[in-house]
Structures are given as C-alpha cells and as structure tokens.
Copies of this chain bind each other. A is one copy, B any other.
Amino acid sequence: MKTDMTVDDLLKQQGAWLAPGEDSGIVVSSRARLARNLKESAFPGWAGEEECERILAEILPAVEACAALQPCFVLNMSALDPLDKQILFERHLVSREHAERGRGSALVARRDETIAIMVNEEDHLRLQAIRPGLGVREAWQVIDAVDSEIEKTIRYAFSPKLGYLTACPTNVGTGLRASVMVHVPGLVLMNEINPIIKGVSKIGLAVRGLWGEGTEAIGNMFQISNQISLGEKEERIVGSIEQIVLEIVEHEKNARERLMEKKGSVVRDHVGRAYGILSHAHILSSKEALDLLSGLRLGLDLGILKAKNRQAVDALLLTTQPGHLQKTQGRKLRTRDRDLARAQRVRQQLVRAGVGMVEEKKKE
C-alpha cells in the first residue's frame, strides 16, 4: 500500500536510527544494505536518463508491492529541491550521491523509515534496513526478506561464480554492507580509540565517520562496517560485525568505568562544559553541536546529567543538522544564520527536555 508522504511529513517523526534500542547509549543504530542490479540493463552510471526512467518503471511495481515495506512512500529525486534531498540525507534515507541524482532515480521507503530503497543510485537497487541500537542481525534479516520478495519478480544480475554483480567491484558477491554506529566518548577521552580503530581495520572491517565513507568522525561517533562482500557468507559478515561491536561496547563500558573511577573530575568537567555551553551559547556550528551533544549524552549515560525526556535530547542529533534546521525555519539560511538558529534550538530543547546537572539538584 503506497501512501502519500512528503519530506515535511518526515520531520514530524523521529527517524528510525534515533529510537531507543539495546545498548543505545553506546550503540546508536545498525544498518544492513544490499546492492542489486537488473539483469541485462546498464548500471545507472552508464545508462542515460531515459534508460534510468525505464529501469525505475520496471523496478517500482515490484518494490512497492513488497509486504515488508508497507505502508510505504515513493519520492522521485527529480521532484525534490536541494533542501528536501538534504533532509533525506541527514535522516540516512539516501546517500550523498543519491541526493545529487534527478530523473530516473527514486527513494522508496517504509513510512517509519526502517526500510529505505534507493532506485538508481550507483546500483539499480540499494536496499537498506535500519534498526536502533545493536540490531544488525535483525536489520539483515529484514532486508534479506525484502530482497527475496523482490527477486520473485525482478531478474537480478547474478553470476554463479561471483554472486550478485554490482557497479563497483567492492560490492560484488553478497552485495551486503552491514554497519553499526557506535558512540564511544569514553574510549576517546581515555585516548584508547586509535588502537581500537587499528585493530578493527586489521580484521578487515572499516571504521568511518557519522555519514559513512569519506566522512569525518565527529561527536565521537564511528561507523563499523565490512569492507569485503565477496567470498563470505552473509551470516558470517553479520556475525563478525556483531562480535566486534560487542567487544567495542565492552571496551567502552570499561573505559567509562575507569574514567569515573580515576578521572571523575575530567568527566564531570567535560560533561559540565558541554552542558554549560549548549545551554548558553548563541552561535553553534554543526560540528561543535555534535561534539558537545556527545558530552551531553555521555553525562546522561553516566548519571551526571538527568533528563525528563532523553529522546528529545537524542533528537537534537538530527534536528540540529543544516537541512533540518532550514526546513523547520521554512527558508534557506546562510551558515551564520544556521549557527544562530541551531544554538537557539538547542537552548530551547534542553529546557523542554528537562536536562539538568544531577549534583546541582542534590544541593537544592
């Protein structure tokens, strides 16, 4: 069942990756995506706009009919303005590359944003499921079911020797990229993140920033994902990510314990400054906001800060992003005006969410 949904409607809900989940203080969200292509059709990068439109027309009915996707909505990239596309990107529904596309490219997604399918990005189909917290196995199971359903009507480009064929050789095989976003301020504050990143890279996994490939790690958030999709079973890819993330969670918990034990003042200072600045600044860049929100979330996890509404705090990770800010203000803003609007939103939201220092409460 296809429903009408605009980008404006999306702003009224929280975004699938921000809901609270298991270990959600440390594991923010999990994602599994499959790259698929139609048999005997040129990859989107080679096909012209018309060919892409033909492919989209062929794919769309099969995707829209998919049971797991219901209720779903479809957005044609050609019908969206740059701000709408930015919103979709910030919500992790489309990639930066897909946001730049127009005619012949579309997004089909479940209304609750837990499943998002890009048609004619780098591949004809990029199927993605997202879960809050550590749910990479669940995410894979969900997207695997969607894939199987689509495969009933669509003939994929598949080689018995190599597996699924994709535009970029790194995706050939399973076409699977499983990734988990972790928030590890403890490891960063203890200066222990670099050995972990090195260790993760050594076993063939990648560590990236908040928005995946080529993005910087800000707000102490890192994305762990598989590098290789060829020659390994999906089960094993998902299993190794799961295992390494569980290990990172243990390391982070351990780092937080040691921080509180041995560097209590350093943590309280870090958290206090983050809260003090976020509550009173009038100019906040996107990067500074994310970095300080990391301190705030750490404070909430450790009980240094309290919040009546923790979700309203986490929502700031999304609503302080440039696209979301501008959409809510109803107009395009220059960088400086965004920094002002962002600071104002953060100040108001922290009051609304009832955030405060725990120790200060004790003294009253």
A residues sitting closer than 8 Å to B (CB atoms) are 265-266, 268-269, 272-273, 275-283, 340, 343, 357
Smallest Cβ distance from A229 to chain B, in angstroms? Answer: 46
What are the nearest 8 A-B pairs in CB distance?
A276-B276, A276-B280, A272-B280, A269-B282, A268-B282, A269-B283, A265-B282, A276-B277
- Contact partner of A281 among B273, B278, B282, B343, CB < 8 A? B273
- How long is the Cα–Cα vector from A278 to B265 in the complex, in angstroms? 15
Q: Are B282 and A277 in contact (CB under 8 A)?
A: no
Which residues on B sit within 8 Å (CB–CB) of A269? 281-283, 343
Which residues on B sit within 8 Å (CB–CB) of A278? 276
Q: Are B357 and A265 in contact (CB under 8 A)?
A: no
Smallest Cβ distance from A263 to chain B, in angstroms? Answer: 10
- How long is the Cα–Cα vector from A40 to B283 in the complex, in angstroms? 65
Q: Are B343 and A280 in contact (CB under 8 A)?
A: no
**Oligomer: number of copies:** 2
CB-defined A-B contacts under 8 Å, sample of 12:
A265-B282, A265-B283, A269-B281, A272-B280, A272-B281, A273-B277, A273-B280, A276-B277, A276-B279, A276-B280, A276-B281, A280-B357
**Quick one: closest B residue to A279, CB to CB?**
B276
Which residues on B sit within 8 Å (CB–CB) of A279? 276
Smallest Cβ distance from A151 to chain B, in angstroms? Answer: 55
Smallest Cβ distance from A189 to chain B, in angstroms? Answer: 13
Smallest Cβ distance from A231 to chain B, in angstroms? Answer: 51
Which residues on B sit within 8 Å (CB–CB) of A276? 273, 275-281
Q: Which of A280, A281, A340, A357: most chain B Cβ within 10 A? A: A280
Which residues on B sit within 8 Å (CB–CB) of A266? 282-283
Smallest Cβ distance from A294 to chain B, in angstroms? Answer: 16
Can you name 11 extra interface pairs (CB under 8 A) apart from A266-B282, A269-B283, A269-B343? A265-B282, A265-B283, A265-B340, A269-B282, A273-B276, A273-B277, A273-B280, A275-B280, A276-B280, A277-B277, A280-B357
Smallest Cβ distance from A28 to chain B, in angstroms? Answer: 25
Smallest Cβ distance from A75 to chain B, in angstroms? Answer: 36
Which residues on B sit within 8 Å (CB–CB) of A280? 272-273, 275-276, 357
- How long is the Cα–Cα vector from A265 to B337 in the complex, in angstroms? 10
- How long is the Cα–Cα vector from A356 to B265 in the complex, in angstroms? 24
Smallest Cβ distance from A281 to chain B, in angstroms? Answer: 5
- How long is the Cα–Cα vector from A268 to B343 in the complex, in angstroms? 11
- How long is the Cα–Cα vector from A280 to B279 in the complex, in angstroms? 11
- How long is the Cα–Cα vector from A272 to B266 in the complex, in angstroms? 22
Smallest Cβ distance from A296 to chain B, in angstroms? Answer: 11
Smallest Cβ distance from A268 to chain B, in angstroms? Answer: 4
Q: Are B268 and A272 in contact (CB under 8 A)?
A: no
- How long is the Cα–Cα vector from A189 to B282 in the complex, in angstroms? 16
- How long is the Cα–Cα vector from A279 to B282 in the complex, in angstroms? 17
Smallest Cβ distance from A342 to chain B, in angstroms? Answer: 12
- How long is the Cα–Cα vector from A280 to B269 in the complex, in angstroms? 7
Q: Which of A269, A281, A282: most chain B Cβ within 10 A? A: A282
Smallest Cβ distance from A261 to chain B, in angstroms? Answer: 16
Which residues on B sit within 8 Å (CB–CB) of A357? 280
Which residues on B sit within 8 Å (CB–CB) of A268? 282
- How long is the Cα–Cα vector from A357 to B340 in the complex, in angstroms? 17
Smallest Cβ distance from A352 to chain B, in angstroms? Answer: 11
